[in-house]
Amino acid sequence: MTQNTVVENAMLAQNQDKYNQRYNSLVERYNKLKEEYDSICSTISDKDAKYEQISRFFKVLKGQQELITEFDELLWGSLADKIVVKSKEEVTVVFKDGTEITVE
């Protein structure tokens, strides 16, 4: 629409104030829609990444043939994103899905 407006302005004599107003309105509309599009693409990308993480986690779990009786580094690595030590008495485990558990 913006390109058509520019072509129309080049071919036809018209009030430049009205043209600029229409052109700026179209550019503003485009920028708003582009921002929404980029946000949606980012959300989709984030969800795809979480899906991949969950899929890998389930694959690891399905590979377990027996009951887990001791610390499993691979399993822990597929669950936990980070551990935040806030003080000697307070530790927070942040899981890859964003869940946080604080132990005090």
Domain residue limits, the chain: 1-63, 69-104
* pLDDT (average), residues 63-76: 79
Q: Is the pLDDT of residue 9 over 70?
A: no
pTM reported for the whole predicted model: 0.51
What percent of the chain has a predicted confidence (pLDDT) above 70? 97
Alpha carbon of 23 to those of 5, 17, 28, 37, 67: distances in Å?
A: 7, 10, 9, 21, 66
Sorted by sequence, the CB contacts under 8 Å of residue 91 that are 6+ apart come out as 83, 84, 85, 102, 103
Q: Distance (Å, rounded) from C-alpha 98 to C-alpha 17?
A: 51
Question: What are 11-61's pLDDT values in tens digits?
Answer: 777 777 887 888 888 889 999 999 999 999 999 999 998 888 888 877 877
For residue 10, what pLDDT band results from cuts at 50, 70 and 90?
low
